[in-house]
């Protein structure tokens, strides 16, 4: 791992490096409504702006768009879902779903809180 990455605890490593999932409704950002930016916990790259966050009641933070070029989509190992990873460090973020009708963009980035850090708008 590069020296430019933040040190991760065991739980963060499980989700970000080993593609784990935190339990629903326990993440620190699931219900966060504050203005600001969400950055990758591993490399600090900007991932999402709070203006794209919405309440999906799925148990994880949901966004209908990412910062330009910030998130890569890959086929999940299960062959059914699309995994999303940080484009800068390839840390696991969660999954993306389309066609659910939650927002006009019809997209839901379902992200583990533990994969991100929130920086409030000043």
Structure tokens of 27?
Answer: 């993440």
Long-range residue pairs from 30-33, CB within 8 A, at least 24 positions apart, any chain: 30/59, 30/60, 30/61, 30/113, 31/55, 32/61, 32/118
Q: Is 40 a catalytic residue?
A: no
The catalytically annotated residue of 40, 43, 89, 110 is: 110
Q: Catalytic residue positions?
A: 110
């Amino acid at each position: 791992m590069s020296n430019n990455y933040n040190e991760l605890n065991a739980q963060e490593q499980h989700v970000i490096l080993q593609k784990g999932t935190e339990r629903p409704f326990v993440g620190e950002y699931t219900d966060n409504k504050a203005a600001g930016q969400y950055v990758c916990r591993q490399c600090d790259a900007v991932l999402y702006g709070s203006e794209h966050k919405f309440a999906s009641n799925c148990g994880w933070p949901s966004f209908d768009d990412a910062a330009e070029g910030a998130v890569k989509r890959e086929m999940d190992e299960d062959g059914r879902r699309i995994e999303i990873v940080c484009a800068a460090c390839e840390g696991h973020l969660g999954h993306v779903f389309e066609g659910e009708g939650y927002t006009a963009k019809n997209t839901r980035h379902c992200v583990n809180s533990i994969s991100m850090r929130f920086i409030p708008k000043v």
